[in-house]
Amino acid sequence: MSEPRPSDRHDASDPDETFAEIVDEATQRDPDLAVIEAGSRTLRARSGPPQGQDVPVRPSDPEVDKALRAVEQELAGRWGETKLEPSVARIAALMDVLGEPQRAYPSIHITGTNGKTSTARMIEALLGAFDLRTGRYTSPHVQSITERISLDGSAMDPERFIETYQDIKPYVEMIDAQQPYRLSFFEVLTGMAYAAFADAPVDVAVVEVGMGGSWDATNVIDGSVAVVTPISLDHTDRLGDTPAEIAGEKAGIIKQGATVILAQQPVDAAQVMLKKAVEVDATVAREGMEFGVVSREIAVGGQQLTLRGLGGEYTEIFLPLYGAHQAHNAAVALSAVEAFFGIGAEQPGALDVETVRRAFASVISPGRLEVVRSSPTVVLDAAHNPAGARATADGLSEAFGFSRLIGVVGASGDKDVKGLLEAFEPIFAEVVITQNSSGRAMDADELAAVAVEVFGNDRVQVEPRLDDALEAAITLAEEEDEYAGAGVLVTGSVITVGEARLLLGRH
């Protein structure tokens, strides 16, 4: 791999010529340049277990729990996250009456189709390790709504969450009365996050878009660093039918003069992103050229990495997460933090490697190839589209080597469920079809009909209740004297994973 360098700022007076040169360079590069596989040798990690906070549970104080449920109920009465009116007018109006809290701190803005939350968590861990106070806003949540707003690496405590809602509620109602549509569930939460970050105050906010980019509620910030994780087909009814169309919407987070950290993309999506960067005079760093994964080895409890960042090479990085996709997320996160500190552009040199190692060793990402039980091993993963499912299947096969794997799948009705199931078909001996409690959940019988097309009738079992599905899958995994080598993967939706986590007693 060549020496890392951030892309030069280009002369905006001739954008077409510059754009053509960038596209040609991106198109001709070896797509596998960023990854040099280092074999499957198992290494014992030098670091201890991750120290990050797990997913929060319900408040132990009955009065606090009652108050939190009241807030949740009020938020649930608004438009849900899948009902959208593509505009930032309402959230911009709310920010105005709140005094523009999102301008009180610099931000790193993250879009893409898959890997956003894990990447956000890694960025948060790195910034925190360098003694910066962080705010992180991600979605959806696994178990508790308070997970969405994080301060200093921990989910906002329920009391503070309630207080923040009550503080902005009068202003929310004011905007509701002025606009054609009330603020949505996601818009109110975004307002809460930006207000909480200003109140803390934080040194930097790490913000994940909800959907798309241009008209996403989060896009009232001016992120000095724009991160684009891999783009694939999802939310096609709202974002477009091709990676290029989806990239056009997601490119909306790239602001004038920003630095863009671009994960490896389909060529047509990369072209759109690069053209946008030229238009706004943004600096671009591309995975596989300016940064990437140099080597990767399976390790006990995760993987051992060598990463190439904008400022140099970082060796012996232990990441307590599984799968090649998480290694790529780590490279993106590292480069985003380097860019935030000006490394590779304003100043030479690299980040302190010991601090980087300590940060990555602390990363957790609940519901992402997360082991929650043994004998048999039960793994949770929130993959909900074909690209995510393929990454999960590859990571699971690489890290676990199950002799028999049973799938538990509960998906949302607005997803490409056939593509999702097809991605898992090679690794599932059998699949138990179920559904979660969400109103968006696909009916178990409808999902089973699709599963029979993919797996055949003999490999499909239907258990509409998730608790029954988990019990059935564990029983299937234990059959034929394969107890020690069997496993269960629960997947298909973040909500399915969160409910399974609660049922299995993981807090």
Q: What is the pLDDT of residues 452-483, one digit of tens each?
A: 999 999 999 999 999 999 999 999 998 855 55
What pLDDT does 242 receive? 81
pTM: 0.84
Asked if 175 and 164 touch (Cβ cutoff 8 Å), the reply is no
Give CA–CA dist 270/276, Å, rounded.
10
Q: Where are the beta strands (DSSP E) in 209-340?
A: 225-228, 259-262, 283-286, 292-299, 302-309, 312-319
263 Rama sector, left if φ>0, alpha if ψ -120 to 50, beta otherwise: beta
Give CA–CA dist 355/286, Å, rounded.
24
What pLDDT does 51 receive? 36
SS (H, E, C) 439-463: CCECCHHHHHHHHHHHHCHHHEEEC
Taking Cα atoms as reference points, which of 287, 311, 292 lies closest to residue 26?
Answer: 287
CA distances from 459 to 242, 406, 456 (A): 33, 10, 6
What pLDDT does 455 receive? 96
Asked if 246 and 113 touch (Cβ cutoff 8 Å), the reply is yes
CA angle 231, 330, 114 (to 5 degrees): 25
**Regions of the chain short of the pLDDT cut 50:** 1-16, 18-53, 235-237
Task: State phi, psi for 207 to the nearest 5 degrees.
Answer: -120, 125
What pLDDT does 171 receive? 98
Give per-residue pLDDT as tens, 400-450. 989 899 999 999 887 889 999 999 999 999 999 999 988 888 999 999 999
Asked if 323 and 391 touch (Cβ cutoff 8 Å), the reply is yes
Taking Cα atoms as reference points, which of 31, 36, 40 lies closest to residue 295?
Answer: 36
Q: Which long-range contacts (CB under 8 A, 24 or more apart) does 338-343 make?
A: 338/309, 338/310, 338/311, 339/6, 339/225, 339/259, 339/261, 339/283, 339/285, 339/310, 340/106, 340/108, 340/127, 340/204, 340/224, 340/225, 341/130, 343/309, 343/310, 343/311
What pLDDT does 33 receive? 32
- With tokens 């807030």, the residue in question is 71
What pLDDT does 232 receive? 80
What pLDDT does 233 receive? 61
What pLDDT does 21 receive? 46
Grouping H, G, I as helix, E, B as strand and the rest as coil, residue 43 is strand
- With tokens 């798309």, the residue in question is 212
- Residue 292, amino acid: G
What pLDDT does 297 receive? 95
Give CA–CA dist 388/232, Å, rounded.
9
CA distances from 464 to 2, 279, 409, 489 (A): 53, 51, 10, 17
Q: Copy the structure tokens of residue 169.
A: 């509620």
DSSP 228-260: EPPP-S-SHHHH-SSHHHHHHHHGGG--TT-EE
Cβ neighbours of residue 126 under 8 Å, at least 6 residues apart?
A: 333, 334, 337, 351, 356, 359, 360
Give CA–CA dist 56/377, Å, rounded.
23
Give CA–CA dist 116/481, Å, rounded.
40
CA distances from 160 to 61, 128, 195, 218, 426 (A): 14, 21, 12, 21, 46
